[in-house]
């Protein structure tokens, strides 16, 4: 459907686009210049779009020549807080911001697919979703609230990763990423002099007990067949080496792939906070904040995505999912409303090099742009054909 010679012809422009996004990253809900770049490319391609303004998304529309169903292709616009240590000539020029999660590649892939689809549009409509704030803020909800997807039959998205090589696309049905929740514990003890601990209630000691104890929730109380994680990522307490802290704060994340395990972990955290507070004569406040739900690929759309991948990379390039990722993704909000499929694109820069997402050294083999653009275009055609049959 899409000649490899056309991909090779368009590839240098896609590299320029990706590097332009990479050079000027913007954080969640601040993606104004990124949106301008997207709109300039859509203008160049002659694709109409709407823009919701700062904090919103850019929605492109490719109309087929005859009636048919609507499908959506999604890319995320935002970057991460942090510093880039890749040494690339097109590295971030903004201190404290970095495209270390590959969203610059996702934008380029969907824009690349737009070019392919504009040249050979399927019937119906393809909705191009350029979404803000995937990393922080759940920007998918902004797109859903706008009504842009009200008539969409299915939605497709993907993410680059070093877990696979360029030319490999991982596809799995069912749970693909974990439910994420955040928790905070505020320990109220009684301060005192470090030389007289018997006169105080040491919030630091209680914090240490909590950090150790909550790990038993996963190791001893959750079914090991259902992957779960409880991580304490932040600890703050104390004012001086010789002062017993009156207060301490813990913050962390909970990742689950099973609703019963999630309920069990929430209840366990509450039980442990009560019990350790009573044990140490302290008061412990616990707050649990729901995060992104799990990404759950629907069966028909997973099969459509698999056919599209096989057409692009061959059967050997289609990699089955071994197990769900314990990461989270706000693509899940779309899949709560619309059937769809979320895939992974192999993007390892060198065959022997693995660098995790969010690392300051993260980069991609830019050949993945051709794979992603071709897959997004092909999956739109495959989906519309399936729904029209």
Binding residues: 101, 103, 135, 159, 358
Distance CA 296, CA 341 (A): 8
* Tokens of residue 74, six digits: 């999604």
CA atoms within 13 A on the CB side of 387: 22
**155 - beta bridge partners?**
72, 340
Tell me how long the chain is.
389
Q: Which of 129, 159, 132 is nearest to 60 (CA)?
A: 129
Q: Which of 263, 327, 259 is nearest to 292 (CA)?
A: 327
State the residue for tokens 């739900």.
293
Contacts of 167 (CB under 8 A, 6+ apart): 313, 317, 346, 367, 371
Contacts of 198 (CB under 8 A, 6+ apart): none
Distance CA 207, CA 248 (A): 7
Distance CA 91, CA 83 (A): 10
Q: Which of 236, 385, 368, 367 is nearest to 304 (CA)?
A: 385
Query: For residue 206, what is the enclosing H or E element?
Result: helix 203-216
Cβ pair 248, 211 in contact under 8 A: no
Residues of the binding site for Mn(2+): 101, 103, 135, 159, 358
Distance CA 14, CA 117 (A): 15
Query: For residue 304, what is the enclosing H or E element?
Result: helix 299-313
């Amino acid at each position: 459907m899409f000649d490899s010679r056309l991909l090779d012809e368009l590839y240098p422009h896609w590299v320029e686009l990706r590097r332009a996004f990479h050079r000027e990253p913007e954080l969640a809900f601040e993606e104004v210049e990124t949106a301008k770049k997207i709109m300039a490319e859509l203008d160049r391609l002659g694709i109409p779009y709407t823009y919701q303004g700062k904090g919103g998304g850019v929605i492109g529309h490719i109309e087929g020549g005859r009636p048919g169903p609507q499908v959506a292709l999604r890319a995320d616009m935002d970057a991460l807080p942090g510093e880039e240590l890749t040494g690339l000539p097109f590295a971030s020029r903004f201190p404290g911001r970095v495209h270390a999660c590959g969203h610059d590649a996702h934008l380029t892939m969907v824009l690349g697919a737009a070019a392919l689809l504009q040249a050979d549009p399927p019937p119906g409509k393809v909705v191009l979703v350029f979404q803000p704030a995937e990393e922080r803020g759940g920007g998918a909800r902004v797109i859903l609230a706008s009504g842009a997807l009200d008539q969409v039959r299915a939605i497709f998205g993907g993410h680059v990763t070093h877990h696979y090589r360029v030319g490999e696309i991982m596809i799995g049905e069912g749970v693909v990423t974990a439910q994420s929740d955040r928790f905070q514990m505020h320990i109220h003890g009684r301060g005192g002099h470090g030389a007289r601990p018997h006169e105080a209630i040491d919030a630091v000691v209680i914090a240490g007990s909590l950090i150790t104890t909550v790990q038993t929730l996963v190791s001893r109380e959750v079914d090991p067949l259902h992957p779960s994680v409880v991580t304490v990522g932040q600890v703050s307490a104390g004012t001086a080496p010789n002062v017993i802290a009156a207060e301490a704060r813990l913050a962390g994340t909970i990742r689950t792939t099973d609703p019963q395990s999630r309920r069990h972990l929430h209840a366990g955290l509450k039980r442990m906070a009560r019990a350790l507070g009573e044990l140490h004569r302290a008061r412990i406040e616990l707050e649990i904040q729901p995060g992104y739900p799990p990404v759950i690929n629907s069966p028909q759309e997973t099969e459509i995505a698999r056919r599209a991948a096989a057409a692009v990379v061959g059967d050997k390039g289609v990699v089955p999912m071994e197990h769900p990722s314990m990461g989270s993704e706000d693509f899940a909000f779309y899949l709560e409303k619309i059937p769809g499929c979320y895939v992974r694109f192999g993007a390892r820069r060198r065959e022997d090099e693995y660098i995790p997402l969010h690392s300051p050294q993260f980069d991609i083999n830019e050949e993945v742009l051709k794979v992603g653009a071709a897959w997004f275009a092909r999956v739109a055609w495959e989906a519309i054909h399936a729904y029209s049959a």
